[in-house]
Amino acid sequence: MSRSFPAATLRAQMAAIIEAAGSSTDEARTVAHNLVLANLSGHDSHGVGMVPRYVDAVLEGGLAPNASAKVTVDMGAVLALDGQRGYGQVVGEQAMALGMARARELGSCIMALANAHHLGRIGHFAEMATAQQLVAIHFVNVLSRPTVAPWGGADGRFGTNPCCIGVPLPGREPFLLDFATSRVAQGKMRVAHNEGRRVEAGYLIDAQGRPTTDPGVVVPQPGGASLFGALLPFGEHKGYGLAVACELLGGALTGSGTWHRPADTQRAVINGMLTILLDPGKLGTRESFEAEALAFLDWLGHSPPAPGFDKVRIAGEPEREARVRREREGIAIDEQTWAEIVAAGKKVGLSLPDA
Ligand code: NAD
């Protein structure tokens, strides 16, 4: 069972909860917009269902409302920032604004952001960059309960470490590849668990390392520290290697830290993000880049659809299609997720309609 909400209603309600949890009106609006955009983009795992977790993290002291990204190193085309455990949606945008200004001025910028609370959809930051005709590459680690098993391992040792690449395209929407290095995002397991669904084989292992289709094995239980199982990395040993690269670059190199301890009950999710920004105009290849990129994408698009597909897409298209559909039809929220949001509102003294 689920109910459908217009995006504007969800934005207003989520902003009200976040503000009641201590954020300024502007911060609450930015976070709510970001979360609802994730729902609109088809990624409910990174949408309004995160609000209960954010409220708990604020109440526990792991997430600091109204914090700003602080510059710790400024060498022109190399920037380091400390997110000071502020809302990732806010400190992430602040860090990107600074990095993009440098990339436009100098041709490129390497920007390391440490200690951001959950950055949400990493594609949001790549979209900021491609809107300014910049290429963006992001490696991100996740300090939270370790949910993903190493290739060949039988328990969770690290997070869903996302990787994202955005490439602007002349006269067209950008290529926007944005994915968790786990077989699926953990939030999608939370959504499936809340909806009472089993998931496809190949995503999960149980506490003994055996394959399972029960998403509950990676959904934290109230007050409990340990998970019963783990997600598997995507792409076998190759996806596992990319996940480790995200931990080394997004976690170790940024100064945010890596995960190397048993799970605890903390609700905070801390992201470290290494971002590489590049102005393709400054490489002297703009004309050939644009012509070659479009020729290649047209070539891809002419591939005849395989059985079960209507056409060949590039990364970024499914999210843009979902936005058009969900703006029109509304955003479906399952009853369990809505009940959790209502309960989160109550914790900060706000009444929303019950599920
Ligand atoms: P996913 O498996 O849905 O993959 C999404 C990517 O694949 C997108 O780039 C999409 O455009 C592309 N894609 C999907 N179908 C396609 C098709 N038919 N043809 C071509 N390309 C296609 O995403 P996911 O792994 O579940 O990740 C979801 C979100 O979770 C991402 O936005 C990611 O940044 C976010 N995330 C965030 C954190 C964090 O800690 N902040 C952790 C993990 C994931």
219 secondary structure, DSSP code: S
| CA–CA gap between residue 302 and residue 281 (Å, rounded) | 28
Q: What's phi and psi for 325, nearest 5 deg?
A: -65, -50
Interval 2-42: pLDDT, tens: 889 999 999 999 999 999 999 999 999 999 999 999 999 99
Q: Residue 353 has what pLDDT? A: 75
Neighbours of 142 (CB within 10 A): 30
| b/e burial code for range 160-193 (CB count within 10 A of at least 16 → b) | bbbbbbbbbbeeeebbbbbbbbbbbbbbbbbbbb
The predicted pLDDT at position 222 comes to 67
Query: Which residues, listed in sequence order, are joined to residue 280 by a DSSP beta bridge?
Result: none
Given a contact cutoff of 8 angstroms between Cβ atoms, the answer to whether 141 and 246 are in contact is yes
Structure tokens belonging to residue 112: 């390391």
Question: Which ligand 1 atom is the nearest neighbour of the CA of 119?
Answer: 41
- The finding on whether 250 has its CB within 6 A of some atom of ligand 1 is no
Residues in the chain: 355
Q: Determine whether the shortest distance from the Cβ of 192 to ligand 1 is under 6 A.
A: no
**φ/ψ of residue 78, rounded to 5:** -125, 120
Our answer on whether the CB atom of 50 is closer than 6 Å to any ligand 1 atom is: no
Q: Is 268 in the pocket of ligand 1 (CB under 6 A)?
A: no
Q: How many CB atoms lie within 10 A of CB 59?
A: 15
Distance CA 2, CA 197 (A): 13
Q: How many CA atoms lie within 13 Å of 75's alpha carbon, on the beta-carbon side?
A: 6
Give the per-residue pLDDT at 266.
81
- State which fold the 1-62+316-355 domain adopts: Hypothetical Oxidoreductase Yiak; Chain: A, domain 1 (1.10.1530)
Closest approach atom of ligand 1 to CA 177: 9
Dist CA 355 CA 350 (whole Å): 15
Q: Which helix (H) or strand (E) element contains residue 5? A: strand 2-5
What's the 316 CA to ligand 1 centre distance in angstroms?
Answer: 9
Check if 85 has its Cβ closer than 6 Å to any atom of ligand 1.
Answer: no
For the chain, the domains span 1-62+316-355, 67-182+235-287, 191-232
Mutate to test the pocket of ligand 1, among 119, 178, 259, 274 (most ligand atoms within 8 A of CB): 178
CATH class of 67-182+235-287: alpha beta
**Encoded tokens for 209:** 């390392």
Contact 147, 160 (CB under 8 A): yes
How far away, in angstroms, is 166 Cα from ligand 1 center? Answer: 12
Concatenated DSSP letters of 289-302: HHHHHHHHHHHHHT
Check whether domain 191-232 has CATH 3.30.230.70, yes or no: no
The closest-lying atom of ligand 1 relative to the alpha carbon of residue 269 is 40
91 ligand 1 Cβ < 6 A = no
Is 204 near ligand 1, meaning CB less than 6 Å away?
Answer: no
Q: Spell out the residues 6+ positions from residue 141 whose beta carbon is closer than 8 angstroms to its own.
A: 158, 159, 161, 246, 247, 250, 251, 256, 258, 259, 271, 272
Identify the three-state secondary structure at position 332. strand
Beta carbon of 7 within 6 Å of any ligand 1 atom? no
Residue 335, classed as helix, strand or coil, is: helix
How far does the centroid of ligand 1 lie from the alpha carbon of residue 131, in Å? 19
Evaluate: CB of 190 within 6 angstroms of ligand 1. Answer: no
Q: For 291-327, how does the pLDDT look when each residue is reduced to its tens digit (9 = 90+)?
A: 999 999 999 999 999 999 999 999 999 999 999 999 9
Does ligand 1 have an atom closer than 6 angstroms to the CB of 179?
yes
Three-state SS sequence of 160-217: CCEEEEEEEECCEEEEEEEEECECCCHHHHHHHHHCCCCCCCCCEECCCCCEECCHHH
pLDDT tens for each residue of the chain, 355 residues long: 788 999 999 999 999 999 999 999 999 999 999 999 999 999 998 999 999 999 999 999 999 999 999 999 999 999 999 999 999 999 999 999 999 999 999 999 999 999 999 999 999 999 999 999 999 999 999 999 899 999 999 999 999 999 999 999 999 999 999 999 999 988 889 889 988 899 999 999 998 999 999 999 998 776 665 668 999 999 999 999 999 999 999 999 999 999 998 777 788 999 999 999 999 999 999 899 999 999 999 999 999 999 999 999 999 999 999 999 999 999 999 998 999 999 999 999 999 876 5
**What is the DSSP secondary structure assignment for residue 253, as one 8-state letter?**
I
Could you tell me if the CB of 272 is within 6 A of ligand 1? Answer: no
Gap between the Cα atoms of 102 and 104, Å rounded: 5
Q: Could you read off the pLDDT of 334-350 as tens digits, one per residue?
A: 998 999 999 999 999 99
Give the pLDDT score at 86: 98
| Look-up of token digits 């190949």 | 202
Find the 325 Cα to ligand 1 centroid distance in Å.
18
- Residues in contact with 325: Cβ distance below 8 Å, sequence separation at least 6, in sequence order: none
CB 330 within 8 A of CB 5: yes
